[in-house]
Amino acid sequence: MENRVLIKRYSQGLVNAIGDEEEFTSIHKELRNFLDLLESREKLKEVLQSPFFPLTKKKDLTDELLKTLSYRPKTIRFINLCVENDRLEFLAEILEFLPELWNEEKGVSTFEVSSVVPLNEAQKEKLKEKLELLEKKPVFLKYTNDPSLVGGLSIRQRNIVYDVSIRGNLDRLKENIIEG
């Protein structure tokens, strides 16, 4: 739970510092590239996340690394902040949460759509149109595959779930039978 609070706090701080969509896209991409670099260099990741490696050495190493990359100053400051506060281990979760928070700040509703198989572009567009009509504002859709659904969709917006899956229908039928 504490990690979730930290992830939200760091994400919110970054979102508050970003001016526009173009800057958001660039910073998100740069952070993704940095995370990919860490994932591809296991020793580097170990050193930067190790509690036994001195902070001054971590900062020096990060500074040297960031000099070779032409990142925006806000990206560099955010990476340095994560290194200084031993929060680099949360970068993946921050990157995952960032678009949702950015959209929320811009008045765009985020929905998580789960389906058994990936939806095609026509299905995605139709679903997006229906949800925008329902919400009366733009929506952002995150897609995942969930084989346990059997068929249909499960759509989640924060703590509200619209379950139109076969598994959901069977669960409701089971509850009705138990209740009599």
What is the average per-residue pLDDT within 163-173?
Answer: 68
Give percent above pLDDT 90 in the chain: 35
**pLDDT at site 165:** 65
Residue 59 above 80 pLDDT?
yes
Q: Which of 56, 83, 103 is the last residue of a domain?
A: 103
pLDDT band for 101, please (50, 70, 90 cuts): confident
Is there a single domain that holds both residue 98 and residue 126?
A: no
Q: What's the predicted TM-score (pTM) here?
A: 0.70
Q: What is the CATH number of the domain that holds 113?
A: 3.40.30
Is there a single domain that holds both residue 119 and residue 174?
A: yes
Cβ contact 117:33 at 8 Å:
no
Residue 40 above 60 pLDDT?
yes
Is there a single domain that holds both residue 133 and residue 56?
A: no
Is there a single domain that holds both residue 46 and residue 125?
A: no
Sign of dihedral through CA atoms 23, 24, 30, 31?
Answer: positive
Is there a single domain that holds both residue 28 and residue 77?
A: yes
Range of the structural domain that residue 119 is part of = 108-179
**pLDDT at site 125:** 92
Is there a single domain that holds both residue 73 and residue 113?
A: no
**pLDDT at site 180:** 66
pLDDT band for 170, please (50, 70, 90 cuts): low
For 37, other C-beta atoms within 10 Å of its C-beta total 13
How many domains does the chain divide into?
A: 2
Is there a single domain that holds both residue 13 and residue 99?
A: yes
Is there a single domain that holds both residue 171 and residue 112?
A: yes
pLDDT band for 1, please (50, 70, 90 cuts): low
What is the average per-residue pLDDT within 36-44?
Answer: 91
**pLDDT at site 122:** 93
Q: What is the CATH number of the domain that holds 93?
A: 1.10.520
Is there a single domain that holds both residue 91 and residue 113?
A: no
Q: Which of 103, 136, 163 is the last residue of a domain?
A: 103
Give percent above pLDDT 70 in the chain: 94
Q: Which of 64, 79, 103 is the last residue of a domain?
A: 103
Residue 57 above 70 pLDDT?
yes
Cβ contacts of 140 within 8 Å, gap of 6 or more: 99, 100, 103, 108, 109, 110, 111
111-160 pLDDT, tens digit each: 888 888 888 999 999 988 988 898 888 888 888 888 877 777 888 887 77
Is there a single domain that holds both residue 73 and residue 134?
A: no
**Residue indicated by tokens 């703590």:** 159
12-32 pLDDT, tens digit each: 999 999 989 899 999 999 999
**pLDDT at site 16:** 93
Is there a single domain that holds both residue 85 and residue 117?
A: no
Is there a single domain that holds both residue 91 and residue 168?
A: no
